[in-house]
Chains A and B, each alone.
Chain A
């Protein structure tokens, strides 16, 4: 499958160790993945290009993940957003869903768990097309 046909995923997490684990795993599953550790760069990127799926951390230095989520949904309402967070609270979970996230995953999680969620999001996107 050409890169243009692949499901496009953007990952934003300020912990490089998370990106180093997640990006190759999702690429291996056949996705076209771009990873960012700085929220400003990710924010600029979503202005240039629509992504099918965005995976974002919440608690980051600089632009907060919740603000980023809002930006993504405003720019591209059909993008499915998956929140991953190391400091989960009931409030952030509720707020994320109010803002229309596809799923909310607290760290630690296994790669299999996030791959399952990404596959479900992809299936929903295909169903909407």
Chain B
């Protein structure tokens, strides 16, 4: 799994880094911490000078240290290994002794970009081929991001991968997962699985109904999902919600649960839940929000 953590200098970013460290501790994901700020005006300066010259460099370095502190050094997949001379087969039958620095098992990099925060975060995600973008936001109200508003919403609406907007210090007890049972993607189920494991929560699988009986295929899909979770000792149940009341259900549920919405290309939810409503959900939700793709 590849995770992109978009950070700024607000306290919620420190919280996001903490949560992502836990997720990375479970998944041994490749992680990039990205900050977007004013243009860098120096190259190769010693670290203390760099910190004075750019406001984000210090924050990024602190986040990296906090991330690494989550792991015991001997067991960390991000710990750099020693450098040695090793014979390497450079082509079949030809060996060359090269000075090899065995890197960490998994990548942790910090990247500083300048420009429009939304464009830069999305560009970094594309370059990394991320599976998940994680970013923070205050518990209620607009998400202020270094002077710009609603950056998490804009990223969430435009990303090609899943986006997790983490609200600070809210204990997650339940994930309410709206999957659009006719077009469930494997990727979205897998992302939910990691979240359920990370937060040790119960799982409410929300199915859509138009008030009539469920189609046999839909019923079969939902039943298969439930059996899948039960077989893995995850407390899960199905709740059917009428299409007409889905939007109000989501906004109410967001007050007490982490909402996970599948917003993939063919998702009915993406039609029912346009950009404006996603903005409102992220702004109004007291808990974290996961948009799955």
A residues neighboring B (CB under 8 Å):
15, 17-18, 21, 59, 61, 86-90, 93-94, 103-110, 112-113, 123, 126-127
Contact = CB atoms under 8 A, between A and B. Distances in A.
21 contacts: A17-B186, A86-B189, A87-B197, A88-B28, A88-B194, A88-B197, A89-B26, A89-B197, A90-B26, A93-B25, A94-B75, A105-B28, A106-B1, A106-B28, A107-B190, A107-B194, A108-B1, A108-B131, A110-B2, A127-B88, A127-B89
A105 B193 contact: no
Given A88-B194, A89-B197, A127-B89, A107 B1 contact: yes
B2 A107 contact: no
Given A61-B231, A127-B89, A18 B186 contact: yes
A34 B180 CA distance: 33
B194 A105 contact: no
B190 A86 contact: yes
Contacts of A103: 105
Contacts, number: 64
B218 interface: no
Nearest to A104: B28
- Chain A binding surface SS class: mixed
A110 B129 contact: yes
Interface residues of B, number: 25
Given A104-B28, A108-B187, 19 more contacts: A61-B231, A86-B190, A86-B193, A86-B194, A88-B28, A93-B25, A93-B26, A93-B28, A104-B77, A106-B27, A107-B193, A107-B194, A108-B186, A108-B191, A109-B1, A110-B2, A110-B129, A113-B129, A123-B89
Nearest to B231: A61
Interface in B10-50: 25-29
B78 to A, nearest CB: 12
A88 B26 contact: yes
A99 to B, nearest CB: 14
Contacts of B197: 87-89
B232 A108 contact: no
A116 B6 CA distance: 25
> Which 4 pairs from chain A and chain B are nearest by CB?
A106-B27, A107-B190, A108-B190, A108-B187
Nearest to B1: A106
Given A17-B186, A108-B1, A108-B190, A88 B27 contact: yes
